[in-house]
Amino acid sequence: MTTEPKPARAEPRTFVTDTGVIAYDLLEPLEAPVEGAKPQTLVLLHNFMSTGRSAWGALLPVLNRTHRVLLPDLPGHGASIGYPPGYHHWAIARQLAALMRAEDAETGHLAGCSSGGMIAQLLVHHKMVQPATLTLVSTTHSTNRAVTGATNALVPENFQAGRKWMEATARLHDPWQGAGYYEDVLLPGFRALRPHTAIDLPLDALRAFNLPTCLIHGARDEFFPVSLVEQMAAALPHAELHIIPQQTHALIFRQPWQVAEIMAAFLK
């Protein structure tokens, strides 16, 4: 694969893992904290095939206002070079936990969208970190369709996305990883994910999540039905649920300001 010009972005920080490096941004709060106060860190995990900036960028003016933000590209995504075999979400969670510890973020706030929300749940379930709160956007506790009742397979063809989104997605990765990386490596990796390499937690596992949890979901999510997230909210001991009418999957792209406002109110 050949290398293309890198996209316009300040050179990210890097954290060395056992399979490569994680590229990430660490953003100080836009507003000065109260004198003597230490700003809390908010970790934002993006969806599969996206990057930290492309997924969460539209929300940063709100979320970064008073919070220090740790914004990684997931292993094998964007500027993060190398990844665990099969993009195994548990292994990715382990690598992200090490990054969070290194940046004093393991006890701050944690949020994830879609695959990022799955990884966030694995971080909490396996006690890799101890966040103060958890926010889950457009995600699930299991990708096993026999468990979730989902009718649509989790494949790119079923995304209700705009035209040419595949080409736009390739431009997030190929300039860093080499021409053809998205088509030849990342996309097949997504297609090959199975419940045991993504997430397959029983609902009972969520009953042990003893932290405030905010669930934000589209009423017309094409992959994870509303009934599924309602079951998650019922299982979680300290949950609040926000269903956004008329909206489908990946709400941080479709309704970024609404998601940001819900998250800001929750984090207060």
Residue 158 has pLDDT above 90, yes or no: no
Is the Cα dihedral 193, 198, 199, 200 positive or negative? positive
Cβ atoms of residues 120 and 111 within 8 Å: yes
d(CA 224, CA 151): 9
d(CA 67, CA 96): 19
> Alpha helix locations (H) across 103-164?
115-125, 145-148
Q: How far apart are the first and last CA of the chain?
A: 46
**Which two structure tokens, joined as six digits, stand for 7?**
């996209």
Interval 17-68: pLDDT, tens: 999 999 999 999 998 877 667 889 999 999 999 999 999 999 999 999 999 9
Q: Which domains does the chain possess?
A: 13-267 (3.40.50.1820)
pLDDT at 1: 40
pLDDT at 87: 98
How are beta strands 13-16 and 21-27 bridged, if at all?
antiparallel
d(CA 56, CA 46): 7
Interval 91-133: pLDDT, tens: 999 999 999 999 999 999 999 999 999 999 999 999 999 999 9
Mean pLDDT calculated for residue range 65-78? 97
Q: Which residues contact 11 (CB under 8 A, 6 or more apart)?
A: none
Distances in Å between the Cα of 114 and the Cα atoms of 65, 69, 248 are 24, 19, 12
Interval 161-179: pLDDT, tens: 655 778 889 999 999 999 9
